Amino acid sequence: MNDRDRRRYDVLKRVQVFGDVNAADFAAGSKAVENFGIIDQAIKDLDEAKAGQVSNPDTSKETLLDAVRLDIQNISRTASAIDLTQAGFADSFRPPKAYNPTAIITTADAFLLQLAVKPADDAPTKAAKAALVAQFVAHEMSTTFVATLQNDRQAIIEKDKEIESDSEDRIEYTAIIGPLIQKGIDAVHTLDAIMHNKYGSQPAKMAAWTSASHVERDPDRSGSTPAPAPAPPAK
């Protein structure tokens, strides 16, 4: 919700309070009650739309990437140890030069390509992968380290889907805020005519209504300055 919409939302909230405080002044089924009801519903819908603009507070992608980074470091460090007796072993398990998100994901995928058995793998490929995994396990890595890396990598895939979905939802909610605001403000304009008729001879009530329904002007963002007043004529 931008500043302009927020100012108008604040008007709707003030008018809602005014309607609640002065509810006894209006007959059930009257135009005033009808328009206060429109404002109540607009506020409810706007609150739901605002909530939809808030990002999901679940585990951040940064936390998930860090889990994969640790997986990569454990595999690379163990591969370097194996390389001491099997020259060249570590070449296939080099850590990324920089642990940025793209490098972490690319490295994880490369490791899984060599270690994780896929349904399409033939028997020799499965045996070769099992032998690789066994060497890591022999150096006290968990027997489930490949599955752990797979799960951590899948969590990032799911988070990316969630982020994309949240983004689409936020765009959708943002698109409906404007019409909801306008619907409420239209009801305020209708109520303004009613209040002038209802409270024209009650200055205190009229002043309260004017204060509640006042919409602040949008600030001047043009950067222009007012033209100077003309100089008084010379005497």
Residue 223 covered by a domain:
no
Straight-line distance from the first to the last Cα atom of the chain, in angstroms, rounded to the nearest whole number: 56
Q: Are residues 186 and 109 in the same domain?
A: no
Q: What is the pLDDT of residues 167-219, one digit of tens each?
A: 555 555 667 888 888 999 999 999 999 999 999 999 999 999 999 999 776 55
Q: Identify the pLDDT of residue 52.
A: 58
Instruction: Using the predicted structure, report yes or no on whether residue 222 has a pLDDT greater than 80.
Output: no
pTM of the model: 0.50
Considering its fold, how many domains does the chain have in total? 2
Listed in order, strand segments (DSSP E) in 46-197 are none
Q: What is the pLDDT of residues 27-53, one digit of tens each?
A: 999 999 999 999 999 999 888 887 655
65 and 156 in a single domain? The answer is yes
- Cβ-proximal residues to 102 (8 Å cutoff; 6+ apart), any chain: none
Average pLDDT over residues 119-143: 96
Range of the domain at 115: 61-162
Average model confidence (pLDDT) for the chain?
A: 86
The answer to whether position 12 is within a domain reads: yes
Statement to judge: residues 128 and 174 lie in one domain: no
Q: Is the pLDDT of residue 221 over 70?
A: no
Does 220 reside within a domain? no
Q: String of b and e for 76-97 (b: at least 16 CB within 10 Å)?
A: bebbeebeeeeeebbeebebbe
DSSP string, 13-54: HHHHHHHHHTGGGS-TT-HHHHHHHHHHHHHHHHHHHHHHTS
Would 231 be classed as within a structural domain?
no
| Domain shared by 7 and 97, yes or no | no
The amino acid at 145: F
Is residue 28 located within the same domain as residue 86? no
